[in-house]
Structure 1
Amino acid sequence: MERRGRCLCGAITYTTSGRILWAGHCHCDSCRRASSAPMTSFLGVPRGTVTWSSAPATYRSSPEVTRGFCPTCGSQMCYESTFFPDETHLYAATLDDPSTFQPQAHYHYAERLPFLKLNDDLPKHSGMAD
């Protein structure tokens, strides 16, 4: 299945037909700060299966992590890490059809914000995965 997405201003678009390796919500401090949101949602696809209309600008948020974003509007587009060398993590909120996103779990749940009340039956991992 081909998936398409874009940034807020539309300057950067992507397509991927890679299979979804995982999909979930991240509550870690760095992802929250990067997205200015109480949590963010990702889908992981095989690296190399994403075609960009133009390459996102990058920011190395730690020695292991590179975050891609639109240099025009600032939308976060992707996350890549040496922890997951064969994956690109796309922000689910950038999908043209976000209804295709089916989260499987919460990650870094131990870092969740206390004011965020969740009422779902998804597994809640304290870190990347328990």
Structure 2
Amino acid sequence: MTGMTGGCLCGAVRYRLTEAPFNSGLCHCETCRRTSSAPSLPYIGVMRSAFAITQGAPVAYASSARIVRSFCGACGSPLTYDNLDKPETIDVMTVSLDKPEAFPPTEHVWVSEKLTWEVLADGLPAYATGEREGA
């Protein structure tokens, strides 16, 4: 699916994807939880060349070493996760898409940091870290 669009809650920042994502997951790391104020944060991975801001300018925040996240400066909506060690890709927050139902999660990552009361009962693969064990 191409031509997907998305943006923040208030509409100040908009973006467009020109290629389908190469993965889709739910991250349970502490930083993602704090970023979203939720038990997990859904994301899609896309090629950087397929992602473009079409309106406004998100605010960048270095949330940890080599990781830069972007947000809307007006409403605070989290938009992207950028691992500087992987310059060819960028993660986009799934629920910032205009049609987030198009890309349901296919895996859980960082379950080693998952909240103890969050139960994973969807049968999706679950990885202790962000790396797929044995891959």
Into which bin does the TM-score normalised by the smaller protein fall? over 0.9
Verify: 1:66 aligned to 2:68, yes or no.
Answer: yes
TM-score when normalising by structure 1 = 0.94
Q: Counterparts in 2 of 1:80-95, with a 5 A limit?
A: 80-95=82-97
Residue in structure 2 matched with residue 22 of structure 1 by the alignment: 23
Number of residue equivalences: 130
Residue in structure 1 matched with residue 42 of structure 2 by the alignment: 41
Rate the CA distance shift 1:51–1:79 in 2: closer, same or farther, 3 A: same
Q: Secondary structure at the match of 1:48?
A: helix
TM-score when normalising by structure 2 = 0.91
**Structure 1: runs of 5+ lacking an equivalent:** none
Residue in structure 2 matched with residue 10 of structure 1 by the alignment: 11
Letter in 2 for 1:61: S
Instruction: Choose the corresponding residue for 1:106, options 103, 108, 128.
Output: 108
**Structure 2: runs of 5+ lacking an equivalent:** none
Report how far residue 57 of structure 1 moved: 0.7
Report how far residue 24 of structure 1 moved: 0.3
Report how far residue 118 of structure 1 moved: 2.2
Q: Distance in 1 between the 2:65 and 2:105 partners?
A: 27
Q: Secondary structure at the match of 1:118?
A: coil
Residues 76-111 of structure 1: CA deviation (Å, up to 9, x unaligned): 000101232211110001111111012111000111
Q: Distance in 1 between the 2:118 and 2:59 partners?
A: 30
Instruction: Choose the corresponding residue for 1:115, options 114, 117, 123.
Output: 117
Residue in structure 2 matched with residue 55 of structure 1 by the alignment: 57
Q: Percent identity?
A: 35
CA RMSD across the alignment? 1.1
Letter in 1 for 2:75: C
Letter in 1 for 2:42: S
Residue in structure 2 matched with residue 75 of structure 1 by the alignment: 77
